[in-house]
Amino acid sequence: MKPIDEDPLAREQHCARRSFLAWLAGSPLLALSPMACRSLPSSKPASLDELINLLQFEGAAEQVMSQGAFDFLAGASDDEHTLRANREAFQLWQIRARRLVNVAEIDMRLELFGEDLASPILLAPMGDQGNWHRDGELASVRAAAQSGHRAIVSTLSTYSIEEIAAASTEPLWFQLYPTADRGITAELIQRAEDSGCGVLALTVDTPVTGNRERQVVALDRILGAVKTTGNFAGRNPFPFPLDPSMTWDMVDWLRRSTGMRILLKGIVTREDALLARERGVDGIIVSNHGGRQEESGRSTIECLPEVVAAVAGTMPVLIDGGFRRGTDVFKALALGAKAVCIGRPYGFGLACYGEAGVRRVIELLDQELKLIMQLAGTPSLAAISESYLQEA
Ligand SMILES: Cc1cc2nc3c(=O)[nH]c(=O)nc-3n(C[C@H](O)[C@H](O)[C@H](O)COP(=O)(O)O)c2cc1C
């Protein structure tokens, strides 16, 4: 498939399709159909068994979380167009299912950075989890480890990286927000490495915090109740001293400072993918921070093909942003992603049901991925390719 942005006609058709889909998404026609919108009991929180897909966890969480905590987790930047784009854009691709393939056994396992993963679904780093459930990150990493999944632990976790690593029976990955003080950053990296993390994801989309209006209001409401970050010995995490002066030299500095594999989280263009390749990073996570940074209007799934093309197989490309269905994951894998990370859904699961909620979110998405692999005729991850998709 030729990249859309290299073909003016394709680009025009693509834009027309997007406008139509954007219109459709706001149309009452859509509101009538999907099971995703099946209403949940309004008088009491749903029981875990009542939730049959990831989309329903948001409604369940809204019932049990304080308004402030819910808005902090669910919200995004500006008018939240990018947040919505992350979901809507999955409809830009359709699945071409093949028939008469033996799909009695489905193999979703993969090896990534020398680690064996049960499926290509990981938990994205999210700070602050102790404010949604008292067990916070301890519960999410336990849930992930139980089924052989990887969790990426945030710099801004409520528990310390040492406490979280002690709770997990699987190795963890660590997400880094550097501070301008390289001494503090070096110490943090060392602690992550000593805690058994083999992979470090440097977040590169956050030189400053995006204009998260729901979060600002939410923080005003909940600040008194916010727990401190575990990694910074009792200091209140807000505002975190980000490093807006960070440039590509940071990758070289990290390389000198740690033996961990280095991923860049937040790459969304071919230009930056090429620079990442030149710098010899070990992998990329295509991400727009769940629509919480620049209000670009670009979904991550639309950014994926140009990043995959630029790295040309030299490193694994992962992606996050809006993944709620097995078919979403399938489409990303077909477009060249090695794995997919999920954020908010497991946060909602954690808030409602603790560890069991996170476990259920992972299990549901795994089940849906397995189902679409069976229905599309792809018994292994290696079998999934671009030929299983067509543009809508
Ligand atoms: C409440 C919240 C906290 C987050 N905290 C972090 C973080 O500490 N570090 C980071 O790199 N990304 C963070 N993210 C972004 C996620 O890692 C991920 O990119 C995004 O949530 C994926 O989109 P999704 O929520 O639609 O699945 C956060 C996202 C949310 C919603």
Name the residues annotated as catalytic.
289
Residue nearest to ligand 1 atom 19, measured at CA: 289
pLDDT (0 to 100) of residue 215: 78
Q: For residue 202, give the nearest of 117, 138, 266, 147 by alpha carbon.
A: 266
Q: Does 231 sit in the ligand 1 pocket, CB within 6 Å?
A: no
Which atom number of ligand 1 is nearest to the Cα of residue 201? 11
Burial of 372 (0-12, 13-18, 19+ CB in 10 A): buried
Contacts from 235-239 at CB under 8 Å and sequence distance 24+? 237/127, 237/128, 237/156, 239/209
pLDDT (0 to 100) of residue 234: 59
Residues in the chain: 392
Which atom number of ligand 1 is nearest to the Cα of residue 74? 31
Q: What is the pTM of this model?
A: 0.90
For residue 286, the CA-to-ligand 1 centroid distance in Å is 12
Kindly report the CA angle at 343 between 70 and 153, in degrees rounded to 5? 105
Instruction: List C-alpha distances in Å: 382 to 125, 335, 338.
Output: 26, 12, 10
Using CA atoms, how far apart are residues 342 and 275, in angstroms rounded to an integer?
A: 26
Which atom number of ligand 1 is nearest to the Cα of residue 203? 11
pLDDT (0 to 100) of residue 219: 67
pLDDT (0 to 100) of residue 380: 98
Q: Does 125 sit in the ligand 1 pocket, CB within 6 Å?
A: yes
For residue 73, the CA-to-ligand 1 centroid distance in Å is 9
Q: Which residues contact 278 (CB under 8 A, 6 or more apart)?
A: none
Using DSSP, state whether 375 is helix, strand or coil.
helix
pLDDT (0 to 100) of residue 241: 84
Ligand 1 pocket mutation, candidates 126, 131, 161, 246, criterion most atoms within 8 A of CB: 126
pLDDT (0 to 100) of residue 172: 98
* Domains of the chain and any CATH numbers: 53-391 (3.20.20.70)
For residue 337, the CA-to-ligand 1 centroid distance in Å is 18
Q: Does 192 sit in the ligand 1 pocket, CB within 6 Å?
A: no
For residue 105, the CA-to-ligand 1 centroid distance in Å is 33
Going from the first residue of the chain to its last (392 residues), give the mean pLDDT of each consecutive group of 10, the final group possibly shorter: 39 43 38 36 70 97 92 96 98 98 98 98 96 96 98 96 98 94 92 98 96 78 65 69 94 97 98 98 98 98 98 98 99 99 98 98 98 98 98 97
Backbone angles phi, psi at 351, to 5 degrees: -60, -40
For residue 287, the CA-to-ligand 1 centroid distance in Å is 9
Q: Does 81 sit in the ligand 1 pocket, CB within 6 Å?
A: no
pLDDT (0 to 100) of residue 8: 40
Residue nearest to ligand 1 atom 2, measured at CA: 126
